Amino acid sequence: MSHRFPAGSILFLVRPPTNKKQNQMKILTTMIGITLIAVTARASDPVPYIAMPIDKGYAIDAHGKRQTNAVCARDVIWACAPRYPFRALSSDPASDARNHRRDGLYRLDIDLKTGRVSRITIIKSAGSAVLDRASTWAFSRWVFTPGKWSAMIIPTTVRIIWVPVLIQLREA
In this structure, are 99 and 30 located in the same domain? no
Rounded to whole angstroms, the Cα distance separating 51 from 65 reads 26
Residue 157's DSSP bridge partners are: 51, 103
In this structure, are 61 and 138 located in the same domain? yes
Nearest to 72 by CA among 54, 98, 90: 54
Residue 2 domain flag: no
Beta carbons of 167 and 43 less than 8 angstroms apart:
no
Residue 3 domain flag: no
pTM of the predicted model, to two decimals?
0.64
- Give pLDDT, residue 1: 44
Rounded to whole angstroms, the Cα distance separating 6 from 170 reads 20
In this structure, are 58 and 128 located in the same domain? yes
- Give pLDDT, residue 117: 96
Mean pLDDT, 10 residues at a time, the chain of 172 residues: 48 54 74 65 66 84 92 89 74 54 88 96 90 92 94 88 61 59
Expressed as residue numbers, the domain containing 32 is: 10-44+163-170
In this structure, are 35 and 51 located in the same domain? no
Parallel, antiparallel or unpaired: strands 44-51 and 149-164: antiparallel
Residue 35 domain flag: yes
- Give pLDDT, residue 171: 63
Domains in the chain: how many in total? 2
- Give pLDDT, residue 9: 47
Residue 148 domain flag: yes
Rounded to whole angstroms, the Cα distance separating 60 from 109 reads 9
In this structure, are 28 and 110 located in the same domain? no
Beta carbons of 85 and 138 less than 8 angstroms apart:
no
